Amino acid sequence: MGKLHTVPDWRSRFLPERQITIYTPPGYDEGEGRYPVLYLHDGQNLFEPHRSFAGDIWHVQSTADALIRAGEIEPLIIVGIDHAGAQRIDEYTPTADLRTKRGGQAKLYGRLIVEELKPWIDGEFRTLTDACHTAMGGSSLGGLVSLYLGFRAPHVFGRLAIFSPSLWWDRRMMLQRLRANIHRRRTRIWLDIGTREGRAYVQTVNHTRELRDQLVKRGWRQGEDLFYFEDSGAMHTERAWAHRLPMALKFLFPPPSVLDVCQETEAPKAIPEELIW
């Protein structure tokens, strides 16, 4: 059985302190091996019902334990990053929405992860530190910020789990920038959406299909380095994302005996500042 390690007041010089929860896989304490790492947003909703929104969680610990024991995924470390409460919408959005006058701190949130949290995790735990073995994921606005930071720092994050991304933000800003600026990266991407998410669910699905189509246009291959999934009847809930988590983990972290996702990759280079969104 995997273990949870908690840092209740992890501090950053960029943004408010928060809890960090680290899952280490079965066998971690008995060996000397190193492990890939998945960073997940909205850490309150991942492991413990008493900390979650409405009591629903992703069941990350039990799901990872079961898949690892069955040999369906490679063992991995999972880092849950709590959001900052009322500041969640600001931290998870790349731009400020002029209508709501909220948002636009995703760069700072990215610096928290890349410059502070990841180096600390790599120093405290036996991790595989390169981009191919480092993943990021989240749902809703957490999916939006995963998309943004994944393309902003492909030299850091080589695998992305994008659940129900909030592509409506700031007049569909992310889709507009994708059409204009995104080129092929060596990134493995899980992308999904439920077909009954929100009042404008048809539009929500169409936005996500457009994102899929933009990725395919730029070289991603469905079923190879991109997996797009529409969950029929699923709503915008923690329960729906928990249901899809096993599928995402199987695609992003297959056992090496099945597929070595790093075998033909080279380390992407950092993008010059002037080319970053």
For 22-62, write each residue's pLDDT tens digit.
999 999 999 999 999 999 999 999 999 999 987 899 999 99
Rounded to 10 degrees, the C-alpha dihedral 112/193/87/96 comes to 90
Average pLDDT along the chain = 92
Q: Percentage of the chain surpassing pLDDT 90?
A: 82
Tell how far CA 168 is from the center of its chain: 18
d(CA 26, CA 76) in angstroms, rounded, equals 9
Q: Model pTM?
A: 0.94
CA 133/CA 253 separation, integer angstroms: 9
127 to 79, 134, 135: CA distances (angstroms): 12, 9, 12
> What domains are there in the chain, each with its CATH number?
3-262 (3.40.50.1820)
SS3 (DSSP) at 27:
coil
